[in-house]
């Protein structure tokens, strides 16, 4: 009796060991791998979207602050204009303070230039970074469409990179899809890249020991939008600091002008013209800060809505 049971057990084990690989290496197994991959991807996309959303909101708040500082600048500029003749008379005794204000204005102008250059790059990168959404469509199609999974399974088995790529690209219009390795042994396994996301699907768990894997790679086509967002955040924070410092210098200049006793004019024509140019530049900087603030706020609102 024991021998019969042992024989049956060995026979059953033999059947399982021979049938299991055949059962695993099927289109349904590929669909199951895609389902697992889709779950991983959904979690990844949700996490990344939440992080970008948080950073974008923080940067937007800085932009709103910049606009507030620019409004304060406008009030200070009006006060400077109203006291222009008095400043021209006292400019000789205020040269040190005026020089500090020039240096502060130079710093703010350089930051504004960098923000103006970076903002369109950031928005272009955000627009081209569609890897997550395209990957979701691809994996959903494989996991939900038995016919698609069967075609993909067959194409992988024949090592037809062109056909595999064609099947994957059906749900990734406008996004670059690259097919990578398809090992000849160990079931149907394919590595492919969608945008900046690297995927692996396998019926025999050859994706780092699992049925699927997900990785992120630097995109060759466009800069990393997350890095650009960090740069934008840093520049807007710096613009806030420099704009506030510029306002402080204007305020101190006005205070010193009041403290300096009157008397005969001490400024020459060149100094007076220099002061006029500085006043005009301060008005331009204030206007540029306001426009930048509006542009950044509008851009980040679009990013927030998208994420």
Question: 9-18, 68-77, 89-98, 164-173 — which is least confidently predicted?
Answer: 9-18
Residue 12 pLDDT grade (very low, low, confident, very high; cuts 50, 70, 90): very low
Place of tokens 């620019």: 70
Query: Would you give the distance in Å from CA 292 to the centre of its chain?
Result: 18
pLDDT in tens, 170-201: 887 777 889 999 988 768 899 999 888 899 99
C-alpha angle 24/157/18, rounded to 5°? 30
Q: Which two tokens stand for residue 205?
A: 């768990």
pLDDT in tens, 87-142: 888 888 888 999 999 999 999 999 999 999 999 999 888 776 678 888 999 999 99
What is the helix (H) or strand (E) element at residue 267, kind and residue range?
Answer: none
Question: 24-28, 96-100, 196-200, 237-241 — which is least confidently predicted?
Answer: 24-28
pLDDT of amino acid 71: 95
pLDDT of amino acid 186: 66
pLDDT of amino acid 103: 96
- Which DSSP category does 218 fall into? -
Mind giving me the DSSP string for 128-154? H--HHHHHHHHHHHHHH-HHHHHHHHH
3-state secondary structure of 58: helix
pTM given for the model:
0.71
d(CA 13, CA 15): 5
């Amino acid at each position: 009796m024991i021998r019969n049971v042992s024989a049956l057990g060995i026979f059953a084990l033999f059947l399982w060991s021979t049938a299991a690989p055949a059962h695993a290496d099927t289109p349904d197994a590929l669909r199951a791998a895609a389902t697992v991959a889709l779950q991983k991807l959904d979690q990844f996309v949700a996490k990344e979207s939440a992080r970008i959303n948080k950073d974008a909101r923080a940067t937007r708040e800085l932009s709103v602050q910049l606009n507030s500082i620019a409004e304060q600048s406008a009030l200070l500029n009006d006060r400077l204009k109203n006291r222009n003749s008095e400043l021209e008379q006292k400019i000789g005794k205020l040269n040190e303070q005026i020089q500090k204000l020039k240096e502060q204005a130079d710093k703010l102008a350089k930051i504004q230039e960098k923000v103006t250059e970076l903002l369109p790059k950031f928005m272009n990168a955000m627009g081209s970074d569609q890897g997550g959404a395209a990957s979701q469509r691809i994996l959903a199609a494989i996991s939900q469409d038995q016919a698609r999974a069967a075609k993909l399974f067959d194409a992988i088995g024949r090592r037809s990179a062109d056909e595999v790529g064609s099947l994957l690209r059906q749900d990734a219009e406008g996004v670059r899809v690259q097919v990578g390795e398809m090992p000849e042994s160990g079931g149907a396994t394919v590595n492919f890249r969608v945008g900046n996301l690297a995927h692996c699907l396998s019926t025999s768990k050859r994706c780092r020991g699992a049925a699927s894997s997900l990785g992120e790679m630097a995109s060759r086509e466009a800069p990393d939008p997350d890095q650009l967002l960090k740069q934008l955040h840093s520049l807007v924070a710096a613009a806030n600091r420099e704009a506030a410092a510029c306002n402080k210098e204007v305020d101190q200049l006005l205070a010193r002008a009041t403290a300096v006793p009157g008397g005969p004019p001490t400024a020459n024509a060149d100094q007076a013209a220099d002061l006029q140019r500085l006043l005009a530049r301060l008005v331009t900087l204030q206007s540029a800060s306001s426009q930048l603030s509006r542009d950044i706020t509008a851009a980040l609102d679009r990013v927030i809505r998208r994420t």
